[in-house]
Structure 1
Amino acid sequence: MEYMDMYKKWLEFDEDTRKELEGLDEKEIMERFYKELEFGTGGLRGIIGAGTNRMNVYTVRKATQGLANYIKKQGIENPSVAIAYDSRLYSDRFAKEAALILNANGIKTYMYKELRPTPMLSFAVRNLKSTAGIVITASHNPKQYNGYKVYWSDGGQVTEEHAEGILKEITSIDYSDIKTMEFDKAVDLGLFNYIDDEVEKDYVELVKGLTVNWDVVERVKDTLKVIYTPLHGTGNKPVRRVLEEIGYKNVYVVKEQENPDPNFSTVKYPNPEEHEVFTRAIEMAKELEADLIIGTDPDCDRVGVVVKNKEGEYVVLTGNQTGALLTHYILENLKATGKMPENGVVIKTIVTTEMARKIAESFDVEIMDVLTGFKYIGEKIKEFEEKKDRKFIFGFEESYGYLAGDFVRDKDGVIASMLICEMAGFYKLKGMSLYEGLMSLYEKYGYFVEDLKSVTLEGIEGSQRIKEIMEMLRMEPPRDIAGIKVKEVKDYLKGIGDLPKSNVVQIILEDESIITARPSGTEPKIKFYFAVKGKDNAEAKDKVKRIKDEFLKHVKL
């Protein structure tokens, strides 16, 4: 159906939709209707609004009907789906709508009573032995966005196989095929259920059990000063509960950012990668002379860390820096306490710092690379569990996602917040800040510096430009960059090792610097990752800047 025909059809859906769509110019109509919002392993994500290429009640209903059809075709006895949602606009409504679609299809649902972090949805799927899970979130995207992520029975995001099967079902149905049910009826029939508080209690106990060195906690719990901001999201209650139950006495919350707010009114983007989101937290830290600032994104799967450098300035650590610190802290203390597992493994993504490899190797621990996306780390944990040949220790990605333990199969901001506080305490006992701890790791393992350029290219033209860039890098890659020869070009679409095929191109330079180009699967973006190593911090920073600047000129951005 042409986009204008679909537009006319949507005008008849309901009064609010009609009012929103009337009066749009043709370009806007085309943007909203030229395609369906794409469903992949990351689920759906898009701008909130009316249209097939937007997040709204109708796209959520259609996706859920497709999921229901897919689940029913698996022949699973008594299927069920766990559901969670974040603080974004319409998240609670989308979650309830999804539940009632599933209920109308004879599938039981278990929904959290109020907003909860994405990792707690992963845990609930496993704890309740559900067939699948849904979380309504757009993670750290701007306030205009919302999203719909699907998890499978292992608690991990759906793999390509499941995503393709669900997508096939979604594309085969019309809006008139969607079944739904009245809430009261769904409750009376026992189809709609709220998740019991015991599930959260079980989760909290398991999180606390991941403490690496209780002696450290006991010695610093009365003195360590922590500023925490949930950035108007889901982390507030679970993060504070875990830290309080462990015994930390001085955790201070940024009041202006404590409560859920779909407008994220104190920040431009609710992203802990951005220094600006910590403005209020830094003011508090200065007043209270805090040791550490931590901030979680709206669905609390990512964590940002702010520490004071030698000049007394507060700096936001990168995801690579925090991940390297955690990798070293966990391995060092597992070894010191005699808890290091045999056949233990650290997992990172292909765009995550190579410093982690050096650290793991120094402890004789295996390190694995997976594709970008935490679902691939979750897949490896499942594989280890089934084969019983390895033990997962820790996994992380450069985009501020970390995980220890195997009871959650996605990055977890609650677990990470707890471990970061413990780690800060460990260095405090040595008379060091986390920043000084990082500098000591650089001295030991080398000065690894990474950078990222994320380019947003929206609409039809943007999509085409992204395709052109990737094609050019495959067919006509540069011969040298910043005076350093290109040694190898890896095209992950052809398959590299045992990794799944993926639309990623990686350029390896003769000095082992790495440039990676990867279009986002959920946003209209292409990302370029740069990773270098230098003899000192200044040289590494200069090198990464030169490589980045010249490469971006090469791709005309």
Structure 2
Amino acid sequence: MIETARTWRDHDPDPATRAELTRLIEAADTGDPAAVADLDSRFRGPLTFGTAGLRGEVGAGETRMNVAVVLRATHGLARHLIDTVGSDARVVVGCDARHGSDDFLDATAEVLAAQGLTVMTLPRRLPTPVTAYATRALDCDAGVMITASHNPSADNGYKVYLGGRATDSTGRGVQIVPPADEQIATFIDAAPPADQIARDPAAVMALDETILDAYIARTASLRPGGEPSTVRVVFTPMHGVGGTTALAVLRAAGVGDVHVVDVQSAPDPDFPTVAFPNPEEPGALDRALELARDVDAHVVVALDPDADRCSVATPTEDGWRQLTGDEIGWLLGEQAARDPGRGGDTLACSIVSSRLLAKIAAQHGLRSAVTLTGFKWIARTPDLRFGYEEAIGYCTDPDAVRDKDGISAMVRVVSLVEELAADGRTLVDLLDDLARRHGLHATAPLTIRVDDLAELGQMMDRLRSTPIDALAGSAIVEVLDLAGGSGDLPPTDALVLRTAADDRVIVRPSGTEPKLKCYLEVVLDCAGGEIPHARAAQRLQAISADVAALLRG
């Protein structure tokens, strides 16, 4: 392992990570157990090129995100594009404000250019949806976004879109899926050592803000009408790169009464005011909710650090309520279904999202689709009008951005608040309408974090091999193992449990973090018009306890 580290260090062109490895190697040579363990974690195998690309902790070594890893990954991507499209392939590259993002963008663009491709870089520190938009709008064969989305501050990533000639029409400007990711990974494995990969900064074309202005105009146009909005918005970009762009969109859309959480407004890769930079995490919206109470806001909107996810809170008689990812999906799905002016006739969601969206689609005479988890699958749905995943990701303008987009979702939410307020109604009123029409669908997550990734496989094996008779007193009527695929779904590592009471539990390992994720849903009748929230919460709690006991053995 030490020799592997020395070889990597000797070919690392970045002085900072080369020095980092030198210190560790020298300490490991003396027998320092901490240094030996640290080196082992950095060289237990290359950082896997999989879910949309790469993601990992910034630092030296083959399992970390660093310039050497990015150089080799980009060499692999370039060879894939030359192999599938030709040497005239076009690529656009963007980045967020995380640690290392500027250097990783430069490395990406310069390697692509050295391979003879046409390479355009976006202005620095822009949201991920702008890169997704640019991939389609500029008719690029690929797009690369340097981001780790809402991962911890120590992480960064490398996200790949394919477009133009590199994919079919339903995948244009969409994150990569098999077999493209596997083909790129093969080219990466065959790439030369990092210091032997050519770079050509002179051949990189730096774009001005024209494409950003086009994205802002397009996204602002999603709010109907031209009159100034009466909605008072509290907004936080969660220390990410969405702030400036989102505010420009709101202004262009006529939404002027916007109050920003100042301490979270500027990009900061350390995310100092939140324990975890994900708007879904407990406490992440505390400052936004405090400001909302102070200014008597009508809605709170929070973006994650790269602005591809959107969380929402709404005032109620009992105080502010943060909506779940599914609840926002239902609201935006109902809004989309009611709008005949939108293209497409299909509402889509991931398999771990609520089943209510399909009922909404049917009620409006539209089609529905269920895909594997992630927008690399959702966004490929033919004739897509709206798509969502429960992890606060929403595609509300698929003709422009074929991925989740927190900023366009923000505009749709503000428009919906405005529309409902004109009739003296709220987001909660619309949720209650949906419950009375289709039954109360209540969802909740259960997450089990692990230190050793091997534990994930052990827990899945235990669940597969353990007979399960009932959950929360209701008999199990179906156990569906998706490892072999099902219907229109390709194989994936997940189990689906359904009960006689129409409860559903889906269990799967996370694709990006060391944890097992469980998605719980109960469906209760709203006889007499009453919404049985308390009973649903109790049932979810009981199911959660039963599932946790099964997984922990």
Same fold, TM-score > 0.5, yes or no: yes
CA shift for structure 1 position 139: 0.6
- The DSSP-based 3-state class of the residue aligned with 1:260 is coil
1:364-422 superposed Cα distances (whole Å, 9 cap, x missing partner): 21111111101112211xxx3xxxxxx32211110001112222110011110100000
Is 1:537 equivalent to 2:533 in the alignment? yes
**CA distance in structure 2 between the partners assigned to 1:521 and 1:271 by the alignment:** 17
- 1:344 is matched with which residue? 345
**CA distance in structure 2 between the partners assigned to 1:195 and 1:68 by the alignment:** 20
Check whether the contact 2:174–2:402 (CA below 8 A) recurs between aligned residues.
yes
- The DSSP-based 3-state class of the residue aligned with 2:447 is strand
Alignment of 1:87-102 (within 5 A): 87-102=97-112
**1:274 aligned partner, one-letter code:** E
Alignment of 1:178-197 (within 5 A): 178-181=196-199, 183=201, 186=202, 191-197=203-209
**CA distance in structure 2 between the partners assigned to 1:174 and 1:114 by the alignment:** 28
**2:445 aligned partner, one-letter code:** L
**CA distance in structure 2 between the partners assigned to 1:518 and 1:129 by the alignment:** 35
**CA distance in structure 2 between the partners assigned to 1:201 and 1:282 by the alignment:** 30
CA shift for structure 1 position 340: 6.5
Is 1:482 equivalent to 2:466 in the alignment? no
**2:198 aligned partner, one-letter code:** T
Is 1:293 equivalent to 2:295 in the alignment? no
Is 1:451 equivalent to 2:461 in the alignment? no
- 1:17 is matched with which residue? 17
Alignment of 1:197-236 (within 5 A): 197-211=209-223, 213-214=224-225, 218=227, 221-236=228-243
Alignment of 1:365-404 (within 5 A): 365-380=366-381, 384=382, 391-404=383-396
Is 1:324 equivalent to 2:317 in the alignment? no
CA shift for structure 1 position 354: 1.4
Unaligned runs of 5+ in 1: 385-390
Q: From the superposition, tell whether residues 463 and 275 of structure 1 become closer, same or farther in structure 2 (CA, over 3 Å).
A: closer
CA shift for structure 1 position 439: 2.8
Q: Please point out which of 454, 458, 461 is paired with 1:471.
A: 461
**CA distance in structure 2 between the partners assigned to 1:293 and 1:508 by the alignment:** 35
- The DSSP-based 3-state class of the residue aligned with 1:277 is coil
CA shift for structure 1 position 529: 0.9
Number of aligned residue pairs: 526
Is 1:156 equivalent to 2:174 in the alignment? yes
**Stretch moving more, 40-49 or 133-142:** 40-49
**CA distance in structure 2 between the partners assigned to 1:133 and 1:199 by the alignment:** 14
- The DSSP-based 3-state class of the residue aligned with 1:50 is coil
Check whether the contact 1:101–1:178 (CA below 8 A) recurs between aligned residues.
no
CA shift for structure 1 position 18: 4.4
Check whether the contact 2:494–2:507 (CA below 8 A) recurs between aligned residues.
yes
**CA distance in structure 2 between the partners assigned to 1:524 and 1:222 by the alignment:** 43
**2:393 aligned partner, one-letter code:** G
- The DSSP-based 3-state class of the residue aligned with 2:475 is strand
**CA distance in structure 2 between the partners assigned to 1:268 and 1:326 by the alignment:** 29
TM-score, length basis structure 1: 0.91
CA shift for structure 1 position 516: 0.8
CA shift for structure 1 position 241: 1.3
**CA distance in structure 2 between the partners assigned to 1:192 and 1:15 by the alignment:** 23
- The DSSP-based 3-state class of the residue aligned with 2:430 is helix
**CA distance in structure 2 between the partners assigned to 1:340 and 1:113 by the alignment:** 30
Q: Please point out which of 428, 431, 434 is paired with 2:427.
A: 434
- The RMSD of aligned alpha carbons is 1.8
Check whether the contact 2:52–2:159 (CA below 8 A) recurs between aligned residues.
yes
**2:435 aligned partner, one-letter code:** Y
**CA distance in structure 2 between the partners assigned to 1:281 and 1:340 by the alignment:** 32
**1:394 aligned partner, one-letter code:** F
- 2:277 is matched with which residue? 270
**CA distance in structure 2 between the partners assigned to 1:466 and 1:484 by the alignment:** 26
- 1:388 is matched with which residue? none
**CA distance in structure 2 between the partners assigned to 1:203 and 1:316 by the alignment:** 28
- 2:187 is matched with which residue? 169
Check whether the contact 2:75–2:111 (CA below 8 A) recurs between aligned residues.
yes
Q: Please point out which of 511, 528, 531 is paired with 2:518.
A: 528
CA shift for structure 1 position 201: 2.5
**Percent identity of paired positions between Structure 1 and Structure 2:** 33
**2:488 aligned partner, one-letter code:** D
Q: Please point out which of 506, 519, 526 is paired with 2:496.
A: 506
- 1:387 is matched with which residue? none
Q: Which has the higher contact order (CA 8 A, sep 6+)?
A: 1
**Stretch moving more, 239-248 or 413-422:** 239-248
**CA distance in structure 1 between the partners assigned to 2:541 and 2:53 by the alignment:** 34
Check whether the contact 2:239–2:268 (CA below 8 A) recurs between aligned residues.
yes
- The DSSP-based 3-state class of the residue aligned with 1:110 is strand
Q: From the superposition, tell whether residues 38 and 77 of structure 1 become closer, same or farther in structure 2 (CA, over 3 Å).
A: closer
**CA distance in structure 1 between the partners assigned to 2:270 and 2:342 by the alignment:** 44
Check whether the contact 1:320–1:398 (CA below 8 A) recurs between aligned residues.
yes
**CA distance in structure 2 between the partners assigned to 1:455 and 1:43 by the alignment:** 24
- 1:552 is matched with which residue? 548
**1:396 aligned partner, one-letter code:** Y
1:297-347 superposed Cα distances (whole Å, 9 cap, x missing partner): 111100010111221x21211110111111112323x2xxx5376x71100
- The DSSP-based 3-state class of the residue aligned with 1:281 is helix
Check whether the contact 1:42–1:521 (CA below 8 A) recurs between aligned residues.
no
1:435-492 superposed Cα distances (whole Å, 9 cap, x missing partner): 333233323322111111223324xxx2211111222223334222222211111121
- The DSSP-based 3-state class of the residue aligned with 1:485 is strand
**2:210 aligned partner, one-letter code:** E
- 2:120 is matched with which residue? 110
**CA distance in structure 1 between the partners assigned to 2:52 and 2:341 by the alignment:** 35
